[in-house]
Amino acid sequence: MIHGGAGELVNINNDKMTVRYIESMRVVLDHGRHILEHGGSALEAVEQCAALLEDDPIFNAGMGSVLNEDGKIEMDAAIMSGDGLQAGSVAGIHNIANPIHLARVVLEESEHVMLIGEGAERFAKLKKFEFVTDDYLITPERKAQWQEAHRSGRISLDHDSPTQTDNSTDDKYGTIGAIAKDNDGNLAAATSTGGIVNKRFGRVGDSPIIGAGVYADNETCAISCTGFGEDFMRVALAKTVSDLIEFKGLDAKTATEQGIKYLTKKVKGRGGFILIDKEGKCASGYTTAKMIHGWIENSGESLYRF
């Protein structure tokens, strides 16, 4: 399963953009299928699928990330393996084309789970990552979006109408994510984002927070979230949904329904998540008008929903 953000998604009403999103998701899902059918691991599949989404400028991650209050890109990403609960995470990084690749190296080659800012970039240099220029990452559309938000003093996300007037949480929710179960029964999850438009003060959302925006446990599920990150952090949503499966014995669909109810009841949270349970069942839920996502269940056909 993959997702590409939640919100009003007003541009999905445009047939040309709908085709564009579907084609992008089709390519990514087919790539993930190919990895798994040829014996690749769930961890490899989610990393590679997330990287493809980071490389597509229509999504808010990697190239095409939204800009912070200074007109710069600060990116976050996390990846987790359900086998042994191994995880790697980076936050507030600049000029890395694929933050999810750096998160994977943190998982495998660091004694830590999460690295941030300058320290994460020093680690990237140590591991011979190539740095890219701002011109590579920043697209004209994102620059125009930031200019509008900057003029109005709004913090916003990337999938709602630019004419909204709410000053804080009710705008645009964009993140990318990928989850998978492989032939060995291992689960994995990955999440990556540029954050929210015009974000301030070194803000970090839920995407790189293990248990908030991403989680994987072979005994429960793999989950990747998208939305207003502060809400997801306050209820530790990814781990909460995993716990619903572990302690109540719920299936994917029921756990998702209860997770969305919990998010709404506790914080009136906006956003959603995708989930694959330990049986390989897929589910998704969201409180926003729409959420871009697609999936392949039990080696079947590719399916899409907005």
CA 126 to chain centre: 26
pLDDT, tens only, 69-114: 999 999 999 999 999 999 999 999 999 999 999 999 999 999 999 9
Q: What is the mean pLDDT of the chain?
A: 92
Phi, psi of 3 (to 5 degrees): -140, 160
16-26 mean pLDDT: 90
Give the other-Cβ count within 10 Å of 145's Cβ.
21
- Cβ–Cβ under 8 Å, residues 238 and 213: yes
Q: Would residue 288 show up in a list of annotated catalytic residues for this protein?
A: no
CATH 3.60.21.10 assigned to domain 2-305? The reply is: no
pTM of the predicted protein model: 0.93
Distance in angstroms between the alpha carbons of the first and the last residue of the chain? 13
Which member of 169, 175, 191, 193 is catalytic? 175
- Cβ–Cβ under 8 Å, residues 212 and 233: yes
| Cα–Cα distance for residue pair 118/91, rounded to 1 Å | 10
Cα four-point dihedral sign 152, 155, 161, 162: positive
Edge to edge, what strands does the sheet with 2-7 contain? 114-116, 87-93, 75-81, 187-193, 176-181, 2-7, 290-296, 302-305
pLDDT the model gives residue 234: 98
Residue with tokens 């908030």: 212
pLDDT, tens only, 151-190: 877 665 455 444 443 433 334 467 899 999 999 999 999 9
